[in-house]
Amino acid sequence: METNLLGTKTITQIGILVHDIEKTSQAYADFFGVDKPQWIITGPVEEARTEYRGQRTEGRAKLAFFDMGSLQLELIEPDQEPSVWRECLDKDGEGVHHIAFAIEGMKEKVMVLERSGMPLLQKGEYTGGRYAYMDTLKDLKVMIELLENDKPHA
């Protein structure tokens, strides 16, 4: 039996690309009978240290999160700057962008996936952690996002 490349099988998030985060988050709120979350915007490149296809990018996105029990639904409305979000929205339109897994050891996991033919597309930092989008489309038919949260200091 092969080893689990990520060290987990638990999907923590599904990300969906949208053109209009206000309209789509309201539609989800109405559908599930919950409050519409306030969207946030990803940090500027100086803070987020965003890299897309190996290059620093100003690309940012509005994000809205719905907590759905053990799974989080993330709506993503990218700006016009280069990013994996913008590229996918322009190429494929609205819809599922990624499934995410909470992992430990980001650098090692990225290297393991890259050695398996699944290259890093975009990475960046957020308050309390970091993310990486891996190009798993050929094999898995969906992009994988790795999320690593910093451990709280004891």
Question: What are the pLDDT digits (tens) for 83-132?
Answer: 999 999 999 999 999 999 999 999 999 999 999 999 999 999 998 999 99
In this prediction, residues 11-40 reach a mean pLDDT of: 97
Q: What is the DSSP letter of 84?
A: H
Burial class (CB in 10 A: 0-12, 13-18, 19+), 134: buried
In this prediction, residues 18-26 reach a mean pLDDT of: 98
Q: What is the DSSP letter of 94?
A: S
Which pLDDT band, with edges at 50, 70 and 90, does 18 fall under? Answer: very high
Burial class (CB in 10 A: 0-12, 13-18, 19+), 59: buried
pLDDT tens sequence across 56-83 = 999 999 999 999 999 999 999 999 999 9
